[in-house]
Amino acid sequence: MWSYHSGMTEYRLTPLAQSLPATVPFVGPETQERAQGRGFVARLGANENVFGPSPAAIEAIAQADHWMYGDPESFELRQALAQRLGVSMEHIVVGEGIDGLLSYLVRLFVGDGDAVVTSDGAYPTFNYHVAGFGGVLHKVPYSADHEDPLALFAKAAEVDAKLVYLANPDNPMGSWHEGAALTAALAHLPQGTLLVLDEAYIETAPAGTSPEVPLDDPRLIRLRTFSKAYGLAGARVGYAIGAPELITAFHKVRNHFGMNRSAQAGALAALGDQGWLGHVQHQVADARDRIAQIARNNGLVPLPSAANFVAVDCGRDGAFAKAVLDGLLARGIFVRMPFVAPQNRCIRISCGTTEQLDAFAAALPAALSDAIKS
């Protein structure tokens, strides 16, 4: 029966749900535009691929039979991915972006009080899912703006963690480890702990960035996406690669009709157009160089990046970087910044078109001047 409290309906939420804040990890640019009452001149904060998806993907989405549900097995997409990766379809599960797959993975492994390890300041959506299922997060600091695999694995051993999260390349810093280094570090992963390896930016990274172990190595699960280099962030298509026994477990909890038909068709066509992927990779590399030059022209230090963005060291503390960010937002340039010190001395600029980066270059000097005066 319903009960009422202070004139409002009192819903019978679980104690865990009652304890959680009604917030999301990121405030979307659309929310900020509505608050400002105007649109952004340059959308350079969400790490989207502004160069867009393959024309073949756009056509496939347009021609999809939208009246039909998507294939709950994502059979054709998994088949194509398996062929490209040299594994069987049983090694792959498709989901609603990496975020959706993270939710399923945490649901499978994490119950009330279970330990999970991540880096302090790493991708916050993973933390959001862990909190949502009652897990306990243990964090280690970055080392020289890189996530620290050995520190992560040592903490996992200390707290008997079920999962340890590592992004390579990293968001928000753009740093990366060579695959050989991660392969060596895996020798220190505690038995019974699963490495959640987020490879969202693997297509924009140097060759050899992914660890040199079989894709069905039971110690880890790799998460990849069509949102970045393939330009389909709006379609929400991600996939996980792992041992068949682990991949099968996803079917216990996943939303079997979560993948819409047009997204499946678009991802399949995008995967088939590797020429377009190469074209985008060149554009991303050029845009990283341009962002770095703009930063240097203004006395700032761009950090090396293997992602589709560049973290720019503003040279002071987080308060100063936030003032620079606010100055850019006030001038219509949407960017973001890391949340945790000392990485929050930086602002993060997504790769953009020539016009967008021209707008960023024009706005940055005044934003810096205002920040210095404040």
What per-residue confidence (pLDDT) applies to 2? 47
Assess whether pLDDT exceeds 80 at residue 209.
yes
1 confidence band (pLDDT: 50, 70, 90): very low
**Residue 323 phi, psi (nearest 5):** -65, -40
Return d(Cα 288, Cα 305) in angstroms, integer: 8
Give the position of tokens 């308060």: 319
Q: Quick one: tokens of 317?
A: 């503390």
Cis peptide before 124, with omega less than 30 degrees from 0?
no
Could you give the C-alpha distances from 168 to 80, 173, 203, in angstroms and in order? 24, 10, 11
- Mean pLDDT within 348-370: 98
3-state secondary structure of 238: strand
Averaged confidence pLDDT in the chain: 96
**22 vs 264, higher pLDDT:** 264
Q: How far is CA 67 from CA 62, 260, 261, 366, in A?
A: 12, 10, 9, 51
Q: What is the pTM of this model?
A: 0.96
Local confidence band at 131 (pLDDT 50, 70, 90 cut-offs): very high
CA separation for the pair 225, 201 (Å, rounded): 8
pLDDT at position 25, please?
82
Confidence of residue 6 (pLDDT cuts 50, 70, 90): low
- Rounded CA-CA distance 248/242 in Å is 10
Beta bridge partners of 240: 93, 223
| pLDDT score for 24 | 80
Report which DSSP code applies to 188. G
Contact at 8 Å (CB) between 189 and 151? no
CATH class of 55-272: alpha beta
Q: Which two tokens stand for residue 168?
A: 């390579």
For residue 84, with 0-12 CB atoms within 10 Å meaning exposed, 13-18 middle and 19 or more buried, which class applies? exposed
- Fill in the amino acid letter for 183: T
Nearest to 48 by CA among 211, 178, 234, 222: 234
- Give per-residue pLDDT as tens, 288-299: 999 999 999 999
- Bridge pairing between strands 163-167 and 115-119: parallel
What sign does the dihedral 203-204-205-207 (CA atoms) show?
A: positive
Which runs of consecutive H residues, i.e. helices, occur in 141-212?
149-159, 179-185
What does the pLDDT read at residue 27? 87
Domain boundaries, the chain: 24-50+276-373, 55-272
Q: What is the mean pLDDT of residues 359-373?
A: 97
> pLDDT (tens digit, 9 = 90+) per residue, 172-197?
999 999 999 999 999 999 999 999 99
- pLDDT interval class at 7 (50, 70, 90): low
| Residues 136-148, mean pLDDT to the nearest whole number | 98
Dmax over CA atoms of the chain, in Å, equals 66
Query: Which run of H or of E encompasses 347?
Result: strand 346-350
Q: Which residue has the higher pLDDT, 273 or 27?
A: 273
Mean pLDDT for the stretch of residues 154-169:
98
End-to-end CA distance of the chain: 55
pLDDT of 4 higher than 80: no
Q: Do 124 and 132 form a contact (C-beta atoms < 8 A)? A: no
Q: Would you identify the CATH topology of the domain 24-50+276-373? A: Aspartate Aminotransferase, domain 1 (3.90.1150)
Q: Is pLDDT at 336 greater than 70 in this prediction?
A: yes
Binned at pLDDT 50, 70 and 90, residue 204 comes out as very high
- Write the CB contacts of 321 (distance below 8 Å, at least 6 apart in sequence): 314, 337, 344, 345, 346, 347
In order of 153, 176, 213, 217, 220, the CA distances from 180 in angstroms are: 16, 12, 9, 15, 15
